[in-house]
Amino acid sequence: MSAQDRKDYYYKKAKQQNYRSRAAFKLMELQTKSSILKYGDNVLEIGSSPGGWTQIIRSITERPVISVDLNDMEPIEGVYFIRGNISNPAINERIKPYMEKLHIEKFSAVLSDAMSRTSGKRDIDHSSSYLLCKRVMEISMDLLAEGGTVVVKQFQGDLTIPFLNEWSPRFRNSRITNVAASRESSSEVYIIFKGYISEHETDQFSQSPL
Ligand SMILES: C[S@@+](CC[C@H](N)C(=O)[O-])C[C@H]1O[C@@H](n2cnc3c(N)ncnc32)[C@H](O)[C@@H]1O
């Protein structure tokens, strides 16, 4: 199947099944391959608009979702949408009041499909997605529960393996994967981190006698 045929195929499938975007099939595939979410999880979703992933998250967790995007998003029942830029360090302070309202102390998972408009230039797309991934990790260090999961999307490049190496010590498992629902020509990958080890526990490990 050509890249265009693949795009059309998932676009039609999303329309038929009432998903807001063909991206919904990417999360379904990640879920099937890597069991990212479970019933009852509290999820922070980044780069949510127009809401295909949000629909999938809601259907699995059956919990309220807090979703953030630069662009507006049509309402979905049980979804608390924040229109904001994750590159702004103040974003955490905009998320926290919703956490309090929903009695969420920390999130079970932070999922990001965020990507700025692609330029078609590999290096530029790689570095802009790398910077978004870095911000998602920084936000997660503040808001993720012990044992939690992070998923980020990245356009592969020179910094992908260093990125994985930098963040994987903070988790029990990490892996890079791609999905069939991505465009064939795309260098898009998802990086999955599972089993967050909070600073506190890391300190305990480092202090415990050998
Ligand atoms: C591929 S789309 C997400 C599609 C979505 N997952 C779905 O299933 O419908 C990427 C989104 O990332 C958002 N985004 C890009 N940069 C962002 C940033 N700095 N802060 C918040 N959202 C951002 C874009 O506005 C865009 O809506």
- Delimit the domains of the chain by residue range: 3-198
Distance between CA 163 and CA 152 in Å, rounded? 11
pTM of the model: 0.93
| Nearest atom (ligand 1) to Cα of 85 | 20
Q: Which residues fall within 8 angstroms of residue 92, CB to CB, at 6 or more apart? A: 139, 142, 143
Mean pLDDT of the chain: 92
Antiparallel, parallel or unpaired: β 188-196 and 144-155:
antiparallel
Q: Which residues fall within 8 angstroms of residue 168, CB to CB, at 6 or more apart? A: 174, 193
> Which stretch of DSSP H or E encloses residue 142?
helix 122-143
Give pLDDT, residue 208: 47
Q: How confident is the model at residue 6 (pLDDT cuts 50, 70, 90)?
A: confident
What is the per-residue pLDDT across 71-97, written as a single tens digit (0 to 9) for each? Answer: 999 999 999 999 999 999 999 999 999
Q: What is the Å distance from ligand 1's center to 125 Cα? A: 14
Pocket around ligand 1 at a 6 A CB cut-off: 20-21, 23-24, 47-53, 68-71, 85-87, 113-116, 132
111 phi, psi to nearest 5 deg: -115, 130
What is the per-residue pLDDT across 28-72, written as a single tens digit (0 to 9) for each? Answer: 999 999 999 999 999 999 999 999 999 999 999 999 999 999 999
Query: Which of 10, 58, 66, 70 maximizes ligand 1 atoms within 8 Å of its Cβ, making it the mutation to test the pocket?
Result: 70
CATH of span 3-198: 3.40.50.150
